[in-house]
């Protein structure tokens, strides 16, 4: 059990019946709560100690226990450990109290729980389906343990009830879910009166692949390839989050050199994605010269990834207990030398981009997401840091080698497209600095550890990784015989998609592609 802390003392004073669950899980203060105290406790954590709702999900305890559990994970500014609240649902009771009225970030999570488990958040302001589109049969809840993973559902008729604004001169403009080009499917419905956008309603979850159900068919030691494919551009981020949770379950240490190499691969992934985003943001303003040069530099980085790991997207670089591919000192030195040349090239391009007055005029004050709205909705990553939210898992809860190679966090407060561009540019330079530090400080030694330990059924672990979009969370609960009982993955896109609806309000329709690109959220990572 974790030692006493200021937040535990505060909670004991305000909620005297509350007592932490004895646990050996590092970095988590765990409480079991009742239905009546949950709303007040969640409201308090979100308010005074500024607790961000980082994750909300359910588990079906069968066959280990005949109950459902709903877990609320809060990240507090005042302390490094997470605070987890667990609510039990026993018998045939399907109703649990919604915290959405006071913690807006819970809105999609609670709708997801209703779709996946059939548990109903009482008092939720919007109980429409989220993941289960209307063609899913009524009563279909795929994450229940009695729902077969390979069940083929028939198609049923149904219609989604969009929100409508009534009034003279108000028009609705539907966009998607099928788009021109190779963009993934997503539906956007705009309400406009004249040019300004009055309302945007996002309707996603067209890519549901049942990934979390597939995890339950996997042994703990064999599920990494599935984790790497959750979102195709975030191989290392999702793979590392899974590895850390699985390693905690089987008490597997990771060699120090392997921890450095994990940070090395993660920063390489951040580099090529951020460079691509800088280019495409410029492209959406018709500044094709900058787009072309960013594409050229990004291709150099993708080819570097391929030479280092055999994969342009760094697949197969990680393994449980460390990394699957060592990178020798000579190759590290060559990588640093190549990045030095790339950084000089990018710095020249960056100066040209930032000196372009017409580009600045197009980006400034476009798609503003205020710090207040960003905080209320639990926004994370690049989008959050551009709106003044000073948070980065690499600094706040160090993993891999970030406790030995500290991170300088890029932070802006304007919350517009230009601020999101500047965060990416700063992080490109910071990733290159971190890679240089890793090349200088990396120790010699093994790159993978072995373990024959089996996890205890019902035991769980949660891990966090700062992917290039933002914080990735992975919760893994062990089942019988080394199988996975439950794996909950939260990509930053699931958190940030609802916030884009606030960023576009008051802008015009032609601004939306630019705002959307400055968020650059994943459809696949959002919808598992």
- For residues 333 and 435, membership in a common domain is answered with yes
If pLDDT is split at 50, 70 and 90, which confidence band does 24 have? low
Question: 3-state SS of 363-422?
Answer: HCCCCCCCHHHHHHCCCCHHHHHHCCCCCCHHHHCCCCCCCCCCCCCCCCCCCCHHHHHH
Which residue, of 99, 122, 145, is where some domain finishes?
Answer: 122
Work out the percent of the chain whose per-residue pLDDT is above 90: 82
User: Using one digit for the tens of pLDDT, what is the confidence trace for 254-292?
Assistant: 999 999 999 999 999 999 999 999 999 999 999 999 999
In a domain, 191, yes or no: yes
Report the 10 Å Cβ neighbour count for 151.
10
- CA 501 – CA 492 distance, rounded (Å): 16
Q: Reduce the DSSP state of residue 48 to 3 states and report it.
A: coil
If pLDDT is split at 50, 70 and 90, which confidence band does 3 have? very low
- For residues 174 and 247, membership in a common domain is answered with no
What is the overall mean pLDDT for the chain? Answer: 93
In a domain, 284, yes or no: yes
CATH of the domain at 434: 1.10.645.10
Q: How many domains does the chain have?
A: 4
- CA 188 – CA 58 distance, rounded (Å): 28
Instruction: State the virtual CA torsion across 345, 517, 210, 312 in degrees, nearest 10.
Output: -10
Q: Which residues contact 261 (CB under 8 A, 6 or more apart)?
A: 322, 323, 326, 327, 438, 442, 447
Q: Reduce the DSSP state of residue 70 to 3 states and report it.
A: strand
- For residues 471 and 435, membership in a common domain is answered with no
For residue 469, what is the DSSP state?
A: S
Beta bridge partner(s), residue 199? 191
- For residues 95 and 85, membership in a common domain is answered with yes
CATH of the domain at 88: 3.30.460.80
In a domain, 174, yes or no: yes
Q: Reduce the DSSP state of residue 321 to 3 states and report it.
A: coil
- For residues 317 and 217, membership in a common domain is answered with no
In a domain, 152, yes or no: no
- For residues 290 and 439, membership in a common domain is answered with yes
- For residues 112 and 93, membership in a common domain is answered with yes
User: Using one digit for the tens of pLDDT, what is the confidence trace for 306-327?
Assistant: 999 999 999 999 999 999 999 9
Rounded average pLDDT over 18-41: 88
Which residue, of 102, 122, 142, is where some domain finishes?
Answer: 122
Q: Which of 407, 443, 229 is nearest to 318 (CA)?
A: 229
Parallel, antiparallel, or unpaired for β 120-122 and 170-175? unpaired
* Straight-line distance from the first to the last Cα atom of the chain, in angstroms, rounded to the nearest whole number: 33
- For residues 319 and 266, membership in a common domain is answered with yes
In a domain, 378, yes or no: no
- The answer on pLDDT for 32 being more than 80 is yes
Distances (CA, A) of 70 to 55, 282, 378: 11, 43, 19
Rg for the chain, CA atoms, rounded: 23
User: Using one digit for the tens of pLDDT, what is the confidence trace for 414-473?
Assistant: 999 999 999 999 999 999 999 999 999 999 999 999 988 889 999 999 999 999 999 999
Tokens of 313: 């997207």
Rounded average pLDDT over 376-400: 96
- For residues 314 and 347, membership in a common domain is answered with yes
If pLDDT is split at 50, 70 and 90, which confidence band does 2 have? very low
Distances (CA, A) of 347 to 275, 298, 313, 410, 526: 12, 14, 24, 17, 33
Distances (CA, A) of 510 to 365, 502, 513: 14, 16, 7
Backbone angles phi, psi at 196, to 5 degrees: -65, 145
Report the 10 Å Cβ neighbour count for 364.
13
- The answer on pLDDT for 93 being more than 90 is no
User: Using one digit for the tens of pLDDT, what is the confidence trace for 94-130?
Assistant: 999 999 999 999 999 999 999 999 999 999 999 999 9
Backbone angles phi, psi at 460, to 5 degrees: -145, 165
Q: Where are the alpha helices (DSSP H) in 64-200?
A: 107-117
Rounded average pLDDT over 195-224: 94
- CA 96 – CA 15 distance, rounded (Å): 20
- The answer on pLDDT for 1 being more than 60 is no
In a domain, 109, yes or no: yes
The domain in which residue 30 lies consists of: 6-122
User: Using one digit for the tens of pLDDT, what is the confidence trace for 484-495?
Assistant: 999 999 999 999
- For residues 330 and 427, membership in a common domain is answered with yes
- For residues 355 and 438, membership in a common domain is answered with yes
Distances (CA, A) of 209 to 160, 287, 527: 20, 36, 8
Q: How is 115-144 classified by DSSP, letter by letter?
A: HHH--EEET-S--S-SSS-TTSPTT--TTS
In a domain, 340, yes or no: yes
In a domain, 10, yes or no: yes
Handedness of CA 415, 419, 425, 427 (dihedral sign): negative
Beta bridge partner(s), residue 58? 70
If pLDDT is split at 50, 70 and 90, which confidence band does 216 have? very high
pLDDT value for 109: 97
- For residues 66 and 181, membership in a common domain is answered with no
């Amino acid at each position: 059990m974790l030692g006493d802390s200021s937040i535990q003392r505060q909670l004991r004073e305000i909620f005297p019946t509350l007592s932490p669950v004895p646990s050996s899980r590092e970095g988590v203060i765990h409480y079991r709560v009742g239905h009546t105290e949950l709303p007040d406790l969640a409201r308090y954590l979100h308010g005074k100690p500024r607790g961000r709702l980082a994750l909300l999900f359910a588990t079906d305890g069968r066959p280990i226990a005949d109950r459902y559990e709903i877990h609320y994970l809060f990240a507090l500014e005042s302390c490094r450990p997470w605070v987890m609240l667990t609510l039990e649902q026993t018998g045939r009771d399907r109703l649990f109290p919604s915290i959405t009225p006071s913690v807006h970030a819970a809105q999609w999570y609670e709708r997801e729980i209703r779709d996946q488990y059939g548990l109903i958040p009482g008092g939720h302001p919007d109980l429409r389906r989220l993941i289960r589109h209307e063609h899913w049969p009524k009563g279909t809840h795929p994450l229940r343990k009695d729902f077969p993973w390979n069940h083929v559902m028939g198609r049923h008729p149904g219609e989604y009830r969009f929100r409508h604004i009534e009034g003279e001169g108000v028009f609705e403009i539907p966009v998607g879910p099928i788009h021109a080009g190779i963009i993934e499917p997503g539906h956007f419905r705009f309400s406009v009166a004249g040019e300004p956008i009055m309302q945007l309603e996002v309707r996603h979850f067209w890519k549901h692949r049942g990934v979390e159900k597939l995890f339950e068919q996997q042994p703990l030691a064999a599920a990494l390839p599935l984790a790497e494919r959750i979102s195709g551009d975030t191989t290392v981020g999702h793979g590392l989050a899974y590895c850390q949770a699985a390693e905690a379950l089987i008490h597997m240490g990771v060699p120090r050199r392997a921890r450095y190499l994990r940070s090395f691969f993660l920063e390489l992934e951040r580099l090529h994605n951020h460079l691509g985003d800088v280019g495409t943001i410029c492209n959406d303003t018709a500044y094709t010269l900058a787009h072309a040069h960013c594409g050229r530099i990004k291709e150099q980085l993708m080819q570097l990834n391929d030479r280092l790991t055999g994969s342009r997207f760094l697949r197969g670089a990680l393994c449980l207990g460390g990394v699957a591919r060592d990178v020798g000192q000579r190759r590290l030195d060559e990588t640093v030398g190549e990045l030095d040349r790339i950084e000089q090239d990018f710095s020249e391009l960056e100066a040209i981009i930032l000196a372009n007055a017409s580009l600045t005029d197009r980006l400034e004050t476009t798609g503003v997401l205020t710090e207040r709205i960003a905080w209320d909705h639990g926004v994370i990553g690049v989008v959050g840091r551009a709106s003044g939210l000073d948070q980065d898992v690499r600094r706040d809860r160090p993993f891999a080698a970030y406790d030995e190679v500290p991170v300088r966090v890029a932070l802006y407060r304007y919350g517009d497209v230009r601020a999101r561009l500047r965060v990416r540019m700063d992080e490109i330079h910071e990733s290159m600095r971190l890679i240089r530090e890793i090349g200088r400080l990396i120790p010699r030694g093994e790159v993978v550890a072995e373990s024959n330990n089996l996890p205890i059924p019902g035991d769980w672990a949660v891990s966090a990784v700062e992917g290039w979009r933002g914080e990735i969370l992975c919760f893994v609960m062990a089942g019988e015989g080394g199988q996975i009982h439950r794996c909950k993955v939260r990509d930053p896109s699931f958190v940030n998609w609802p916030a884009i609806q606030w960023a576009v309000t008051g802008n015009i329709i032609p601004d939306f592609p630019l705002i959307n690109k400055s968020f650059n959220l994943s459809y696949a990572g959002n919808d598992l």
